[in-house]
Structure 1
Amino acid sequence: MTENSKRPPFTGKRAPAGRGKPPTGRRPGLQPDGPTLLYGLHTVEAAFANPDRKRITLYATENAVNRLKERNVTIDVPIEEMAPKALDRMVTKDSVHQGMILKVDPLPAYGVEALAGARLVLALDQVTDPHNVGAILRSAVALAADAVVTTERHAPEEGSVLAKSASGALDMIKHVRVKNMARFISEMGDEGFFRVALDSDGEASLEDTEFGDKTVLVLGSEGKGVRQGVRNACDTLARLDMPGQLRSLNVSNAAVLSLYVARHKMGL
């Protein structure tokens, strides 16, 4: 039984307006040490659909509440109706909250045990920008990857910007955090995974690389790329050949392309 299922069903009663000070948005990259804020229709809807997500309070306009109900979202937390300008003050400037902000606890810290039965895993070696990681999570869900793995340090922790950039994907895929990426990649080899690091110096293109039945794709940060120790733990290096004048891609674009190629090569 999840923590959410222990709560009494929503009765339609609303939390008194103005009681207590609404939480403020958390700067991207900070490790959450308590509740955080999710905003935007797709992000909030996915959080309500995730049984692993502990939800606390929904701050929303009347129209936004009706919109969620029209989409058959079960609102199982107290609702505090607020005006759009009051919601604006809860998040950073120019944040598009679409009239709804959900206060939640961080997701559980998924470990490698969450990869049981996985076939296609995407590992990010020190990719630190929450916008990039959010976009990668979204692509990973769209292309049916089983999990995205980052390090505990030098990677964005869960927060408003990451969740918004992921457009709901944060609550749709396992985001596994490991202490040491090189050690993790080595251990995945012991579990029968073929390990491919994306690198411009790869001997073969990704399209010409033979994949295993289970695969880990490893991408590094823009500029530095995959670190040497992580590269050494992989079975092969592969490159993405670009026919145009620009020879490199943003890491989030490289992720979606490499996932697409991997699925084709693996027959998924």
Structure 2
Amino acid sequence: MNKSSFFIAGQHAVIEALRNPNRKVLRVFLTEDAKKNIHRKNPNKNVLEDVKVYFKSKKELDKFTSNEQLMHGGYIAEIEHLDQPKLKEFIKEKQNCTLVCLDEVTDPRNIGSLIRSASSFNIDGLIIKERQFPKESKLLYKSASGCMEHLNIFQVSNINSTLKNLKEKNFWVYGFDARGEKNFTEVKWEGKNILLFGSEGFGMREHTGKYADFFVKIDINKKIESLNISNSAAIVFHHLSYLKKKLEVK
């Protein structure tokens, strides 16, 4: 069965898609400068070898991103979706696992930035509602800066039932909320954990919040109401990565 295809834009998004052996890249549209840069960044392998390449001017490529008002940098690619990993299979027999779960988060820029941070700090995967995931958004791929190729993304039909099933498999669910009683840095972060973040504007839904075992917060300047979700997530991911490295050193 043929998969649907879509377009992505931007240097990092396109180059990482070309480097990923599991990603089918159908066509690439490049400026001459972009082609030279691809070869400079991949001196040991011709990542364009099995791909249809079309050379265009910057103005010709602008039509691919004019609706999103997005900078393409001379790189456009038509790609197919990756095979979706199965959450049930992924968590099987894992003793230590950290997954991030998004409830009602829909902004492609925020999701893409969060994916970039999650990949950078070795989070095991992202759980997101399938209907709310802008999986063909150029802005998502541009914001993720190539990291769509490096993170397990689990698209589920229902967040609440997914959390319920994970809790039954000994995962602890930590809801991030400014009203949380404990600072997230006070948690040991051992074993199997879910980091649950709510929407950009309205926070976590009450019904979903019922599946959280604990509510934790990020301590910030009391004069500031809140942080952007992707910034909040990056702070948390970095802290967890730091703790993990400390344990590895011991």
Smaller-chain TM-score bracket: 0.7 to 0.9
Q: Is contact 1:126–1:155 with CA below 8 Å preserved after alignment?
A: no
Which has a greater percent of helix? Answer: 2
Task: Rate the CA distance shift 1:128–1:51 in 2: closer, same or farther, 3 A.
Answer: same
CA offset at residue 141 of structure 1? Answer: 0.9
Q: SS in structure 2 opposite 1:148?
A: strand
Q: Is contact 2:7–2:136 with CA below 8 Å preserved after alignment?
A: no
| Residue ranges of structure 1 left out of the alignment (5+ in a row) | 4-32
The more displaced of 77-86 and 89-98 is 89-98
Q: Is contact 1:122–1:218 with CA below 8 Å preserved after alignment?
A: yes
Q: SS in structure 2 opposite 1:57?
A: strand
Q: Are 1:137 and 2:115 an aligned pair?
A: yes
Number of paired residues? 237
2:103 is aligned to: 125
Name the amino acid aligned to 1:134.
Answer: G
TM-score normalised by length of structure 1: 0.82
Distance 1:148 1:211 in 2: 17
Q: Is contact 2:125–2:152 with CA below 8 Å preserved after alignment?
A: yes
Q: Is contact 1:206–1:261 with CA below 8 Å preserved after alignment?
A: no
Q: CA RMSD in A?
A: 2.0
Report matched runs for 1:68-147 at 5 Å.
68-72=38-42, 74-75=47-48, 76-92=50-66, 94-112=69-87, 113-116=89-92, 117=94, 119-147=97-125
Q: SS in structure 2 opposite 1:233?
A: coil
Distance 1:264 1:214 in 2: 17
Distance 1:265 1:57 in 2: 42
Name the amino acid aligned to 1:234.
Answer: A
Q: Are 1:232 and 2:236 an aligned pair?
A: no
2:192 is aligned to: 214
Q: Are 1:181 and 2:175 an aligned pair?
A: no
Name the amino acid aligned to 1:223.
Answer: G
TM-score normalised by length of structure 2: 0.87
The more displaced of 255-264 and 37-46 is 255-264
CA offset at residue 107 of structure 1? Answer: 2.3
Distance 2:27 2:142 in 1: 18
1:66 is aligned to: 36
Deviation per CA, 1:9-60: give whole Å up to 9, x if none.
Answer: xxxxxxxxxxxxxxxxxxxxxxxx8311112111111101222211101111
Q: SS in structure 2 opposite 1:246?
A: coil
Distance 2:182 2:243 in 1: 14
